[in-house]
Amino acid sequence: MTMKLWYSPASPFVRKVLVFAHETGLADKIALVPGNVWEPDTEITKDNPLGKVPALATPDGVFAGSYLCCEYLDSLHAGSRLIPLDGPERWPVLQLHAFADGMIEATVASITEQLRRPKEYVYQGTLDRQNARISRTLDRIAATTLGQTTNIATITLGCALAYLDFRAPQLAWREGRGALGLWYDTFSARKSMQATLPHA
């Protein structure tokens, strides 16, 4: 079975799906289809009316949004689930996923504000608010003990931190969060992370 992933090479949400696909041994079942979400008549809308990436076109239908793409991929492999279906690990994993995913959302919103709006319309208050959200969430995550278990949460966190390095290095997220930095150094060396480095 071949699936089609609408993607853009710098999108952290797309990267999350790609890392997930590598970790579950499904990467070679996915054909990447570049799409420019900023073109008004982008072809992505044929599959995903939201006009966003990622979207995964499969024999079972189109799945829009990174979480759903990952959940679908998780149903296709025989290894242990990266989104725990039940058991005590399910809720902590989903909770960390939500925080990491929210950081990506905030960073993307901030970058969109800076890169996609005419300079005179960029509102510093919005940027400050997103930065504060990211900083608080980093602090909360840094206060927890993170293992190197690979799951939807750690994959999303790895992609969130990488995206901060890529697009918002001035936030210096490692400062005062040494253990999180060490965690990321190990996680980002994984083959799945190395195979999916972003480019502008």
Ligand X SMILES: N[C@@H](CCC(=O)N[C@@H](CS)C(=O)NCC(=O)O)C(=O)O
Q: Report in angstroms how near the CB of residue 108 gets to ligand X at its nearest.
A: 5
Binding characters for ligand X, 114-153, by CB under 6 A (x = yes): ----------------------------------------
In order, the DSSP letters of the chain are --EEEEE-TT-HHHHHHHHHHHHTT-GGGEEEEE--TTSTT-THHHH-TT--S-EEEETTEEEESHHHHHHHHHTS-SS--SS-SSSTTHHHHHHHHHHHHHHHHHHHHHHHHHHHS-GGG--HHHHHHHHHHHHHHHHHHHTS------SHHHHHHHHHHHHHHHH-GGG-TTTT-HHHHHHHHHHTTSHHHHTT----
37 vs 142, beta carbon nearer ligand X? 37
Listed ranges 64-72, 83-91, 92-100, 174-182: which one lies at the site for ligand X (CB under 6 A): 64-72
The residue number whose beta carbon is nearest to ligand X equals 52
Q: Which of 66, 110, 130, 192 binds ligand X (CB under 6 A)?
A: 66
Confirm or reject binding of residue 62 to ligand X (CB under 6 A).
no
Interface with ligand X, residue 32, by CB under 6 A: no
- CB nearer to ligand X: pick between 162 and 177: 162
Q: Does 109 bind ligand X (CB under 6 A)?
A: no
